[in-house]
Amino acid sequence: MVDEVRIQGLGVIDEAVLELSPGFNVVTGETGAGKTMVVTSLGLLFGGRADPQRVRPGADRATVEGRIVLDPGGRVVERVEEAGGELDDGVLLITRSVSAEGRSRAHLGGRSVPVSLLINLADDLVAVHGQSDQQRLLQAGRQRGALDRYAGNALLKPLRAYTAAYERHRQVSALLVELTTRARERAQEAEMLRFGLEEIEKVDPKPGEDAELAAEEERLGHADALRGAADSAHESLLGDPSAAFEAANVVTLLGTARNALDAVRDHDPELAGLADRLAEAGYLVSDVGTDLAAYAESVDADPARLAAVQERRAELIGLTRKYGPTLDEVLEWSGRSAERLTELEGDDDRIEGLAAEQAELAGRLEAEAAELTSVRTAAAERFSAAVTAELTALAMPHARIHVMVNPTGEYGPHGADEVEVRLAPHPGSSPLPLHKGASGGELSRVMLAIEVVFAGADPVPTFVFDEVDAGVGGKAAVEIGRRLARLARNAQVIVVTHLPQVAAFADQHLLVEKSDDGTVTRSGVTALDREGRVRELSRMLAGLEDSELGRAHAEELLELAAEER
């Protein structure tokens, strides 16, 4: 509900605060006192058009600030949090300002937001019905949605079945379109994958093979140098047995050094330890020499093998240039591509199966949509009769409401029906769309009748009516007040009125008064007590606040309204 509205610099209002109750709130005041600015402020608060001409002369800007109490688990709270706004103990603060130059700014929960977000939130927060305000139920989607809620449980099962069939039909159709329209591209993709897999299969690479071949090519390419180095090192360590005389070598020199130490090792343990280390070095050098001889024997310059290795490496490098920087990644590409090729080659079978499913779903859609049309048509007849009866009591005795349910043949998320509420204002006149078949005052009454019938079915927490009583009086005015009070049992209702018969039914009565300089100041909006309501209703009835006859009539109206509430 709207808990409080603060207005500054809007029209004749310099500064005003409206504290609203959860039920039926009525705003009254003399002509030109600024009552309509209350509706204008609420319109601005929920994304209405920013008109710089509404800015009070002499003011830099007009500002409206509203405190909205929200359901903690509602959709609005989630959307506010998504926008970065914050709530204070379940209360949302909305601010809208319009500069004299026409610049508009909006803040939601302390965060600057685009005005379009306020408009989107308004659909779940408030319904404003006035001469110049956009009517929620004039929107085709709203009319269909409201009728569905009015139809109630009778529509739930067929709508659920239709929605399931529609979603699956949409998925299948989209997949079919993709498979058929991209047939050429998919065939080209399959051919490319097939070529690559055949090329890789022909080479038949093994994991790690590229590294092994690179090492073998390096060894074969330097075979002579490697063998010569091994022979030279072996000769240095162990000497050359084929030489005519024995040259000094490492093993001989280590033996000479060891013998020299062994001769005196018994005289000093430290020297004995050094002798042992020389012995170990001799054994190690001898082993290395033996290994060098074996290595030199194993190294063989094989030009044929070197050419084969180089050729194999060229084949593998050709693969890595096309399918991945390393051989392992080439093998990974091969695995992925084989799976993808299997998927592509199965498209023909998939297309055939999907086409059959699509045809079956189309039949289901047609049947389910027809069931929806039947249920909606029955609900539309009941709704038309109920709203027409309401209009009779609202001083439109000859008006007739017709809810048209027209199958379009085009299936959408909610069926194939186009729902439109039409009004025949006079006997013999053709039913016309609401915005064409009713004047401003009539349209407000039609909206009131619709909202009363939809009460509980169209879950908007706050309704605002301006000039809903235009052109009526007497008994019809009492009926309007009675129906507004009925609507307020399920929602917050805010009404600007000049009729005492309507004002008498309110739970809270706000009086707007101008000061001597023609402006509405902070003290210019007053919540009236019982005595204040009697005085204001007397003024509205007789034009005199202290008229005895007017006061008596005002008391009677208040008692009547209290009994009916």
Which two structure tokens, joined as six digits, stand for 301? 């310059």
pLDDT of 417 over the 50 cut: yes
Whether the CA torsion 513, 517, 520, 522 is positive or negative: it is negative
Kindly report each contact of residues 150-153 with a partner whose C-beta sits within 8 Å and lies 24 or more positions away, as own/partner: 150/379, 150/382, 150/383, 150/453, 150/454, 150/457, 151/375, 151/376, 151/378, 151/379, 152/379, 152/457
Q: What is the mean pLDDT of residues 358-379?
A: 92
Pull the structure tokens for residue 366: 């047609």
Lowest mean pLDDT among 24-28, 114-118, 468-472: 468-472
Residue-wise pLDDT for 542-557, tens only, equals 776 667 787 888 888 8
Q: Is the pLDDT assigned to residue 472 strictly greater than 70? A: no
Q: How far apart are the first and last CA of the chain?
A: 20
What is the predicted pLDDT for the residue at 138?
Answer: 65
Q: What's residue 161's pLDDT?
A: 92
For the ranges 61-70, 134-143, 234-243, the lowest mean pLDDT is seen at 134-143
What is the pLDDT, as a whole number, of residue 347?
67
pLDDT of residue 376: 93
Average pLDDT of the segment spanning 300-317: 84
Q: Per-residue pLDDT for 52 more than 80? A: yes
CA distance 419 to 448: 19
Average pLDDT value for residue range 460-467: 80
pLDDT over 50 (residue 302): yes
Which residue type occupies 548? E
Query: What does each C-alpha distance from 393 to 253, 284, 390, 453 come to in angstroms?
Result: 130, 119, 5, 13
Please give the DSSP secondary-structure letter assigned to residue 56.
Answer: P
Mean pLDDT of 73-82: 82
**Residues counted in the chain:** 565
For residues 525-529, average pLDDT: 88
| Average pLDDT of span 293-308 | 82
> 104-126, pLDDT tens digit by residue?
898 888 888 888 888 888 878 88
Q: To 10 degrees, the CA torsion angle through 362, 364, 369, 372?
A: -170
d(CA 375, CA 452): 22
- What is the average pLDDT across 433-457? 71
pLDDT of residue 314: 87
Alpha helices in 346-395 (DSSP H): 347-393
Round to whole Å and give the CA distance between 157 and 32.
53
The residue with greater pLDDT, 191 or 453, is 191
Tell me how far apart the alpha carbons of residues 26 and 20 are, in angstroms, rounded to a whole number: 9
pLDDT > 70 fraction of the chain, expressed in percent and rounded: 89
Alpha-carbon distance of 492 to 484, in angstroms, equals 10
| CA-closest candidate to residue 390, choices 423, 419, 418 | 423
- Whether residue 424 contacts residue 431, with contact meaning beta carbons closer than 8 Å, is answered with yes
Q: Quick: pLDDT tens for 376-393.
A: 999 999 999 988 988 887
CB count within 10 Å of CB 420 equals 17
The least confident of 35-44, 83-92, 450-459 is: 450-459
Confidence of residue 137 (pLDDT cuts 50, 70, 90): low
Residue 546 is classified by DSSP as T
pLDDT at 434 > cutoff 70: yes
pLDDT at residue 459 greater than cutoff 70: no
* Percent of the chain with pLDDT strictly greater than 90: 12
Q: Over 50: is that where the pLDDT of 249 sits?
A: yes
Burial 494-508 (b: 16+ CB within 10 A, else e): bbbbbbbbbbbbbbb
State the chain's mean pLDDT as an integer. 83
For residue 134, name the pLDDT band (cuts at 50, 70, 90): very low
24-28 sheet: strands from edge to edge: 126-129, 462-466, 492-496, 24-28, 508-512, 525-527
Q: Over 90: is that where the pLDDT of 10 sits?
A: no
Q: Is the pLDDT of residue 87 over 50?
A: yes
Please tell me the least confidently modeled range out of 183-192, 286-295, 549-558.
Answer: 183-192
- Pick the more confident residue, 284 or 48: 284
Residue 133 has pLDDT above 50, yes or no: no
Task: Spell out the SS3 assignment of 140-181.
Answer: HHHHHHHHHHHHCHHHHHHHHHHHHHHHHHHHHHHHHHHHHH
The identity of residue 215, as a single letter, is: A
Say if CB 493 and CB 26 are below 8 A apart: no
Determine the pLDDT at residue 369: 92
In tens, the pLDDT along 490-503 reads: 888 998 888 888 89
Q: Two tokens at 476? A: 């019809």
Q: What integer is the mean pLDDT of 74-102?
A: 85
β-pairing, 61-69 vs 2-10, is: antiparallel
Q: Edge-to-edge strands of the sheet including 415-424?
A: 400-412, 415-424, 432-433
pLDDT number for residue 396: 83
Q: Report the interhelical angle of 347-393 vs 153-181 (nearest 10°).
A: 150
CA distances from 128 to 116, 213, 491 (A): 17, 81, 13
Question: Does 244 have pLDDT greater than 60?
Answer: no
